[in-house]
Structure 1
Amino acid sequence: MAQPETASPTYLLLDVAGTPCAVPSAAVGEVLPLPELFRPPAGATWLAGFLNLGGKPVPVIDLARLLGLRAGGHAPGPYAHLVLAPGADGAWLVDRVTDLVAVEAEAICPVAEAGSLNGCVAAEIRRGDRLVHALDPARILTAEERARVADLTRAAQARLAALAPA
C-alpha cells in the first residue's frame, strides 16, 4: 500500500532590510500594505507603533530594527507590508512580502537555538544558491520584550477606549 504524501511546509518569504527571511504560513493571518500607525512616546525603537484594527490596537514590530538590520531613522521602502498574526494579536513590519512557497523537507536545515538571538532563527532554507532565515515566530521577541509590548498594548487600548464616543 502506498504511503500518503505529506504536504511540504509552506513559508511566507520576506525581505527584511535586504535580508531574505521566512515565516511559516501557519503563523500568518493576513498581509496588508503599510497603513498609518500610531506610536506611543514610550515605545521601543523596534516598536513601529500600533495598527488601529476596528478599535483594537495591534502592536507592530519592525523586524529590521529588532534584528539589528536597519539603523534608527531609516524607514522601510514604499513596498512595505504588515504581516498580521492569526487573530491579529500582533504584526511584523517588513520591507516586502515576496512570495508564498512550499519547501521540500530536504531544503530545510535546522539551526541550533544558540545560533541566533533567543533562537529566533529556527532553520535555514536553501533556495537555489542562497539561504533564507526561517524565523520562529514564538522566539522573535524575548519574554521581557513580550511583556513590554503587552503593557504598551494595554495602555494603547485604554487610550482608544477613552476616545470612544459616550
Structure 2
Amino acid sequence: MRAAYLLLDVAGTPCALPREAVAEVLPLPDLSAPPVAGRVLAGFLNLGGEPVPVIDLARLFGLRDEAGPPALYAHLVLAADRGTAFLVDRVTDLAAVEAGALRGVPDGRTLNGCVEATFSRDDRLVHVLGPGRILTAEEAARVAVLTRAARERLAALASV
C-alpha cells in the first residue's frame, strides 16, 4: 500500500507531511507579524478575513536562529483544517511511499513526538512530521491566544 507525502525543504533538512494533512501550497505573501509573536510565529496570513497563524518550521526546530529574510522560493503549507500554515524553504515534490519503506520513530526520540516516521529518498533521510504534534500544547495555546487577538483586530478594522 502506498501513501502520498508532500516533500519539504526545512533549512536543508528533508521533511514530509502526509498529503491528507495539507489543504494547499501557497507562495509566500506578506504576513502581518505582531511584535509579540515570538520566534516561531512568522506572522499571520489573512485568508479571506480570517487570520491564520504561520509557523516557521526552521526556527521551531532550531535549524535557523534568526528570522532573516525567507528563502527565495519559500512556501506556505496550509493545513487541511485551514487553521494553521507552515513556512518552509520550499515544497519540493509530492511522493508516493510504500508502507514498508516507512520506519517508525518512538515518541520519546523527538520533541512532542513530532517526527512520526522516516523514509529514505535520494540517499537522504526524510522526516515525516505529524501535523498535530508539531507544536507542544503550550505552544499551541500561545498561538491560539495570539490568533484570537489578531481576529479581534481584524474585526475592529472591518467595522471602521
TM bin, normalised by shorter chain, reads: over 0.9
Q: 1:121 aligns with which of 100, 106, 115?
A: 115
Q: 2:94 aligns with which of 90, 97, 100?
A: 100
Count how many residue pairs are aligned between Structure 1 and Structure 2: 160
- Deviations 1:112-153, CA, capped at 9 Å, x for gaps: 111111110111111142210001111100000010010000
Structure 2: runs of 5 or more not aligned:
none
For 1:124, the aligned partner's letter is T
Residues 69-78 or 143-152, more deviating? 69-78
Structure 1: runs of 5 or more not aligned:
1-5
Alpha-carbon distance in structure 2 between the residues aligned to 1:49 and 1:78: 18
For 1:54, the aligned partner's letter is G
- Deviations 1:22-64, CA, capped at 9 Å, x for gaps: 0000110000000000011111111000001111000000000
1:58 to 2:52 alignment = yes
Tell me how far 1:73 sits from its aligned partner. Answer: 3.4
Alpha-carbon distance in structure 1 between the residues aligned to 2:52 and 2:23: 13
Alpha-carbon distance in structure 2 between the residues aligned to 1:101 and 1:125: 11
Tell me how far 1:76 sits from its aligned partner. Answer: 2.4
Does the 8 Å CA contact 2:8/2:90 hold for their aligned counterparts?
yes
Alpha-carbon distance in structure 1 between the residues aligned to 2:68 and 2:108: 29
Alpha-carbon distance in structure 2 between the residues aligned to 1:95 and 1:23: 14
Alpha-carbon distance in structure 2 between the residues aligned to 1:54 and 1:129: 41
Query: Please, what is the CA RMSD of the aligned residues?
Result: 1.0
For 1:11, the aligned partner's letter is Y
Q: 2:63 aligns with which of 56, 61, 69?
A: 69
Please name the residue that 1:154 is paired with: 148
Please name the residue that 1:163 is paired with: 157
Alpha-carbon distance in structure 2 between the residues aligned to 1:135 and 1:53: 24
SS in 2 for 1:65: helix
Q: TM-score, normalised by structure 1?
A: 0.93
Q: Which runs of 4+ in 1 moved over 4 A?
A: none
Alpha-carbon distance in structure 1 between the residues aligned to 2:48 and 2:89: 24
How many percent of aligned residue pairs carry the same amino acid?
Answer: 66
Please name the residue that 1:3 is paired with: none
Does the 8 Å CA contact 1:47/1:62 hold for their aligned counterparts?
yes
Higher strand share: 2
